[in-house]
């Protein structure tokens, strides 16, 4: 092999900048916390009376409404494992978009829930 042979030139891989990563993380966190905030306000205000109307004790209906809110915090580690796996397989950016769309659709569907009656 002659000494003048050149190696194939590869273009450098574009690295995401730190501000872009921070901004994307902030957007995802803001959407997640906004979803939880809206649900907690609704659960405290009227979910007990609307979705648990058959419960005669209003305090118990309120606790049941907040129990459904607690499920989101208990499910968070499982979602992290699931989306972490897909993030490794499909790419973090695509997985982030899927996670954000899932949260947005879930927030919309909470608004579409019918009452107890």
Yes or no: say if 35 and 106 are a contact pair by the CB < 8 Å rule: yes
Q: How many domains, in total, are found in the chain?
A: 1
Examine residue 103 and state whether it is found in any structural domain, yes or no.
yes
Range(s) of the domain holding residue 30: 18-111
Residue 90: pLDDT band by 50, 70, 90 thresholds?
A: very high
Burial class (CB in 10 A: 0-12, 13-18, 19+), 48: buried
Mean predicted confidence (pLDDT) in 80-101: 90
pLDDT of residue 57: 92
- Residue 70 gets which letter from DSSP? H
The answer as to whether 11 is a domain residue is no
pTM of the shown model: 0.56
For residue 4, give both structure tokens.
Answer: 């003048």
Q: Is residue 10 part of a domain?
A: no
In the three-class reduction of DSSP (H, G, I as helix; E, B as strand; rest coil), residue 12 is classed as coil
Phi first, then psi: give them for residue 5, nearest 5 degrees: -65, 135
pLDDT tens across 54-88, in order?
A: 889 989 999 998 998 898 888 889 988 998 999 99
Residue 7 belongs to a domain: no
Q: Residue 46 has what pLDDT? A: 87
């Amino acid at each position: 092999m002659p000494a003048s042979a050149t190696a194939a030139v590869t273009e450098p891989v574009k690295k995401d900048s730190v501000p872009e990563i921070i901004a994307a993380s902030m957007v995802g966190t803001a959407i997640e916390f906004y979803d939880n905030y809206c649900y907690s306000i609704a659960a405290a205000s009227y979910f007990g009376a609307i979705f648990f109307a058959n419960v005669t004790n209003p305090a118990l209906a309120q606790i049941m409404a907040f129990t459904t809110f607690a499920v989101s915090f208990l499910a968070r580690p499982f979602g992290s494992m699931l989306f972490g796996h897909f993030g490794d397989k499909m790419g973090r950016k695509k997985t982030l978009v899927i996670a954000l769309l899932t949260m947005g659709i879930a927030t919309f569907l909470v608004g579409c829930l019918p009452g107890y009656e």
